[in-house]
Amino acid sequence: MAGGTYYVQECPTCGRSLQIRVEYLGKRVACQHCAAKFEACDPSSVNYPPMASGISLLARADELIDTVARAGKAISPGATSGSGSKC
């Protein structure tokens, strides 16, 4: 019984792990679960995930959230943005 060689790649839309045949590398494939179309690429590659991928977008969103969280901790709780003058 001849079977294909597969690798595992995460769907950039729904995040599920998919078994993809090696011969599909570089080609557009569809997720079995959510029907999203994406390029099959080697997850160990420097170019993974592709910039158009939802994974890249989510990773960037996480970076921005971490940056805002760190900036929020740097501001003291009693600080105000007013001039402090009384009327």
Whole-Å CA distances, 14 to 17, 32, 34, 44: 9, 10, 7, 20
Q: Could you report the per-residue pLDDT of 10-58, keeping only the tens digit for each?
A: 888 888 999 999 999 889 999 999 999 988 987 776 666 565 566 666 7
In this predicted structure, what is the pLDDT of residue 67? 86
Strand partners, 12: none
Distance between CA atoms of residues 72 and 19, nearest Å: 41
Average pLDDT of span 57-70: 81
Distance between CA atoms of residues 38 and 30, nearest Å: 6
Report domain extents, the chain: 6-74
In this predicted structure, what is the pLDDT of residue 20? 94
In this predicted structure, what is the pLDDT of residue 37? 92
- At 1, the pLDDT band (50, 70, 90 cuts) reads very low
